[in-house]
Amino acid sequence: MLKTFVNIFKIEDLRKKLLITLGLLVVYRIGAYIPIPGIDSLKLAQIFDNLAKQAGGGLFGLMNLFSGGALRRATIFALGIMPYISVSIILQLLTPVIPKLEQLSKEGATGYRQILQYTRYGTILLCLLQAYFIALYLENGIGGEAVVLFPGWGFRIMTMISLTTGTAFIMWLGEQIQEYGIGNGISLIITAGILSRMPGAIYQLYTLAKTGQIRPEVVVFLIVMLFAVVWFVTAITQGQRKIPVQYARKISGTRVVGGQTSYIPLRVNQASVMPIIFAQSVLLFPATLASMGLRFGIEKVANWIRTADLTYILVYSALIIFFTFFYTQIIFRPLDIADNLKKYGGFIPGIRPGMPTAEYLYDVMIKVTTLGAIFLAIIAVIPMLLSRWLNIPYLVSQFFGGTGILIVVGVLLDTIRQIESHLLMRHYDGFIRSGRIRGRRYG
């Protein structure tokens, strides 16, 4: 392993990409500590710490996780990259519905650039809207405590400009990493934000153990469980069902064209973290509205969500399973795949082309997605169960499951895979002797 890291810095192009990526991530972390003018940051941080004890802190807790704690500190990067992700998801969901978007998605690089431009415009508009409501939310006070020093339109406009500019700058950083660095820029920024909170969680766990609030055997159990969860997430994230595809042979003059054998990869966790985000948004939205002073008779729902009892966990799990199937059917369309196979002379051995192929792909998708949905539900509820049963803070328990660990493991695996490809191209050993990351093989 040490030799592999040394080899990374022997390759000039790879070394340059890594240094650019690390440098831009450092810039991102510096910006996460520049506060918005006119806010009592210390008091706001205390309020967020109290909110974090309530089922993860609502939608603001999720946004705070993705921003690496910047929302808790009310900095210029407080919105993080969450608006960009939201707009990307919305456009992805609308692609099968709006003919123009569907046409652009089939135009390759040109269409991708146009959709990316729509995503940028939508992100700016969503940032302005979210920043305005956050400014109002802060002005009205949180839990009866005022956190804005000079309320009014001056503060609102300053907040809207600061937060929108901050998110636009994060978008630019992500695109620069994507173009000149290594790995997926947006995903790496999210991962850097999540990992930045780990030292605080470790210190808090150490303090609890030192003061005797949790027993030493509980700490050992948590360490063992962390490794087990990471292994489990890695295996499921990399797991896929390979559906074999055979292309018919054609004789063109004296040449034989076609006849290749390929496969369609259907990942076990095809939907990634999206179902968890959707389920959290649906369940925690009433609690967030109630905390903003918007009642409309939702206090009972908000209180039920805050308790995070067994009923809540079951409903949360059911929503995750539902959204897993919903999102997978949007991004994996068996009928389109069957049409493309038929168009290019491909077929699945033993399955007739056309509608029978689509039905076969749909049945396989249902079976594989069922396993992925159950996996996501288990991973998502682990932090709540640990926090409730072991009486540990949610800041600590969230690193044992949920959205954060899924993102971190997935992004790190993808980045390692890209680094490994650079090494193998230049005849260096990868991170694994065989040159393959565990879980990539189909068994």
pLDDT greater than 70 at residue 259? no
What is the full DSSP assignment across 53-80? Answer: TTTTTHHHHHHHHHTTTTTTTTBTTTTT
pLDDT greater than 60 at residue 296? no
The two three-digit tokens of residue 73, written as one number: 């500190």
pLDDT greater than 70 at residue 304? no
For the segment 419-435, the average pLDDT, to the nearest whole number, is: 65
State residue 249's pLDDT score: 67
Which superfamily, per CATH, for 217-400?
Answer: SecY subunit domain (1.10.3370.10)
Smallest Cα–Cα separation from 271: which of 334, 320, 335? 320
Cβ-Cβ contacts under 8 Å for 314 (sequence gap 6 or more) = none
State residue 442's pLDDT score: 31
Taking the model in full, what pTM does it have?
0.77
Per CATH, 1-196 and 217-400 having the same topology is answered yes
| CATH top-level class of 1-196 | mainly alpha
State residue 407's pLDDT score: 82
Phi, psi (degrees; rounded to nearest 5) at 241: -100, 120
pLDDT greater than 60 at residue 87? yes
Angle at 30 between CA 27 and CA 32, to 5 degrees: 115
Task: State the pairing for strand pair 261-267/249-252.
Answer: unpaired
State residue 20's pLDDT score: 92
For the chain, give every domain's residue range: 1-196, 217-400
Average pLDDT, rounded, for the chain: 79
State residue 439's pLDDT score: 40
pLDDT greater than 50 at residue 3? yes
Strand extents, DSSP E, 229-384: 240-247, 249-252, 255-258, 261-267, 346-347
Which is more confident, 51 or 91?
A: 91
Q: Is 426 exposed, middle or buried (0-12, 13-18, 19+ CB in 10 A)?
A: exposed
pLDDT greater than 60 at residue 130? yes
Partners of 39 in beta bridges? 148
Which is more confident, 69 or 108?
A: 108
Largest Cα–Cα separation, the chain: 83
pLDDT greater than 90 at residue 168? yes
Measured CA to CA, the distance from residue 385 to residue 105 in angstroms comes to 41
State residue 69's pLDDT score: 66
pLDDT winner (highest mean) among 64-78, 156-170, 190-204: 156-170
pLDDT greater than 90 at residue 161? yes
State residue 438's pLDDT score: 45
For the segment 246-261, the average pLDDT, to the nearest whole number, is: 66
Q: What is the pLDDT of residues 338-397, one digit of tens each?
A: 888 888 888 888 888 889 899 999 999 999 999 989 988 888 888 888 877 877 777 777
